[in-house]
Structure 1
Amino acid sequence: MKYTLKNKNVQITASTFGGELNSLLSKKNNLEFLWNGDEKYWKYHSPILFPIVGKVKDGRYIAENKEYELPQHGLARTKEFKMIEKDENHVVFELLWSEETLKVYPYKFSLKLSYELLENGVKVGYSVTNLDDKDIYFSIGGHPAFMCPLFENESFEDYYFELNKKEHAKIMILDSNTGYFSRTESEFLKDESIINLNLELFKSDAIVFKNLKSNLITLKSNKNDRELSMDFTGFPYLAIWTKPTGAPFVCLEPWYGHADFADFKGDITEKAAIEKLSIGTEFTASYNLYIK
């Protein structure tokens, strides 16, 4: 089931399948900013990554002294959520633990995704509540994809990202063959705020930053004045990705957690950047998207 919300500037559509944002439309010029999900390239629009981000080592992990298997980015993006709250400005979807989820993730949880209209964008909210009788462990992240280029007479290379602060930033090294991180990092930004887009950037998969000073990143073009911004305040990791073979979209991914290191031993409680949630407590996070 899909739900559409709109104000004078923005129209969004979100689906109960995967709790996924499907559309982010500028009403001023009838321009779609969110990727259309063309399966020729990538079938998603803005999937939720839960309870893992990226890959677990060998597709398996250990929790509560038992081995489990999870696919890349976890279980939530292919589940049917329930719409539990809606008015003219916001909608909330929920995914609850089930006997099926317990087979791959041995924790009882509530995962809520919320979409709230802003004057020129949308606020995307995450809530994880521990419904179990023990601590639960998880990672969570966003994976929204944006049209790039926006117009037919442009190329991917006409676009660039601008951070709101100059950065001395390294990127984590991801092995494109395995999907796991090494313990080394590579120099990337040197007192810079601009990232010019080209496919060479993504030859080893995503570009992943940790603990940037910036909290705002904007997708801009040398050929037009349209802009897409993400405020990712609070998220410790930010990834940028497109298919290294080329695709007309680019993803901005705010994460709590990341794919495993190549030397990970498998115990979820020892997983790098894992979130731990005690009994009856709630984790919340959100990011904002703005269009111009």
Structure 2
Amino acid sequence: MRLNIRQMFQVSNEVLKISVKPKGAELCEIASVKNDNQFMWHADPDIWGSYAPNLFPIIGALKNDQYTFEGKTYNMPKHGFVRHNDDIKLIDQSKNSLTFSLIYNEDLLKQFPFKFEFLITYTLDNNTLNIKHTVKNLDNKAIYFSIGGHPAFKCPIYKDENYTDYSLVFEHEETAQTYLLNIDNGLVTNQTKPAFNTKNSINLRPDLFNEDALIFKDLQSRKVALVSKTHGEILNITYKDFNYLGIWAKPNAPYVCVEPWLGIADAENTTQKLTEKEGIIKLPQDETFNASYSIQIHEHHLG
């Protein structure tokens, strides 16, 4: 399934081209200019109909889809309200970048009682795409939020490969274990299990995500590469500003999501108070928050 590019915002340089959907300002294509190699999942709606949702102002699920703030209860869908939002506007476009903005409105204040501006900027720099998240506090009080990415990468990239030919290779040796989710409600348990096949790699296999996402709270690495046995490193993701990492796909699906997070789904024992939520960011009045990650495509695959 190919994108209808007329419905997208696009920028390119000499080696890469990207496309972004207006809805949710969702990145939906990273491709080689020279050979048209496609690196992102094509969002097959029969499997998983997204490309790279932007997660704000929560990550994952809330207990009963609710939280409380100053004694009031608010409802919020999984991963927040940016991902399917039609109110995001393109506010700046240059030769190599796109910037989108979402500003609070009366409907959003019913879900999230804070005045804010959310911005996301996609910038191409040679064979690297930089993705910058910005949150501005427009309120007369501190605001609380989480923020993150959810990019899905095509896997395998080439027709002569299988999913099991791929692994995720981290920059440092790791002892971290994955925190298990409660399958029934999407909440984080206190149970962990090993995820690494070597000291720094996780082999992809069709049943890897049978228990949902791999969730890491304490990785040493801030860089991970998607590596093929036959074609070498395909791409890498650098996430220096993010303390949590999710890895996920639908079981048996030909993609993998590598998700830099500042925040995490509710724990099973949550108080449901937003100010006490694990990983929550507190942004004082009149201040601005920035966090970026990057996706670099290895030059061997660019033609």
For normalisation by structure 2, the TM-score amounts to 0.92
Distance 1:194 1:175, change over 3 A: same
* Identical counterparts, % of pairs: 37
Match of 2:218 in 1: 211
Match of 1:90 in 2: 97
Match of 2:111 in 1: 104
Q: Where in structure 2 are the equivalents of 1:74-153 lying within 5 Å?
A: 74-80=80-86, 81-153=88-160
SS of 1:101's partner is: helix
The answer (yes or no) to whether the contact 2:195–2:202 under 8 Å persists in 1 is: no
Match of 2:13 in 1: 7
How far 1:152 sits from its partner (Å)?
A: 2.8
Match of 2:64 in 1: 58
Q: Does 2:31 correspond to 1:36?
A: no
The answer (yes or no) to whether the contact 2:206–2:253 under 8 Å persists in 1 is: no
The answer (yes or no) to whether the contact 1:168–1:190 under 8 Å persists in 2 is: no
The one-letter code matched in structure 2 to 1:83 is L
The one-letter code matched in structure 2 to 1:149 is P
How far 1:191 sits from its partner (Å)?
A: 6.8
**Dislocated runs of 4+, deviation >6 Å:** none
SS of 2:20's partner is: strand
The answer (yes or no) to whether the contact 2:144–2:274 under 8 Å persists in 1 is: yes
Give per-residue Cα distances to partners, 1:230-252, cap 9 Å, x unaligned: 001121001110112x1111100
Structure 1 distance, partners of 2:256, 2:194, is 22
Q: Does 2:295 correspond to 1:273?
A: no
How far 1:188 sits from its partner (Å)?
A: 3.4
Out of 147, 150, 161, the position equivalent to 1:154 is 161
SS of 1:168's partner is: coil
Q: Does 2:243 correspond to 1:236?
A: yes
The answer (yes or no) to whether the contact 1:168–1:191 under 8 Å persists in 2 is: no
Paired positions, count: 291
Structure 2 distance, partners of 1:189, 1:152, is 26
Give per-residue Cα distances to partners, 1:144-171, cap 9 Å, x unaligned: 0000111233221111111111111121
Q: Which moved more, 1:258-267 or 1:196-205?
A: 196-205
Structure 2 distance, partners of 1:190, 1:94, is 41
How far 1:2 sits from its partner (Å)?
A: 2.2
Distance 1:225 1:191, change over 3 A: closer
The answer (yes or no) to whether the contact 1:167–1:190 under 8 Å persists in 2 is: no
Match of 1:256 in 2: 262
How far 1:29 sits from its partner (Å)?
A: 2.3
Out of 15, 25, 30, the position equivalent to 1:19 is 25
SS of 1:58's partner is: helix
Query: Which structure carries more strand by proportion?
Result: 1
Q: Which moved more, 1:46-55 or 1:149-158?
A: 149-158
The answer (yes or no) to whether the contact 1:96–1:111 under 8 Å persists in 2 is: yes
Structure 1 distance, partners of 2:32, 2:171, is 23
How far 1:109 sits from its partner (Å)?
A: 0.7
Q: Where in structure 2 are the equivalents of 1:183-222 lying within 5 Å?
A: 183-189=190-196, 192-222=199-229
Structure 2 distance, partners of 1:117, 1:240, is 24
Q: Let me know the Cα RMSD of the aligned residues.
A: 1.4
Give per-residue Cα distances to partners, 1:242-269, cap 9 Å, x unaligned: 112x111110000000000011121111
For normalisation by structure 1, the TM-score amounts to 0.96
The answer (yes or no) to whether the contact 2:97–2:121 under 8 Å persists in 1 is: yes
The one-letter code matched in structure 2 to 1:138 is F
Which blocks of at least 5 consecutive residues in structure 1 are unaligned? Answer: none
The answer (yes or no) to whether the contact 2:226–2:235 under 8 Å persists in 1 is: yes
How far 1:187 sits from its partner (Å)?
A: 3.4
Q: Does 2:189 correspond to 1:182?
A: yes
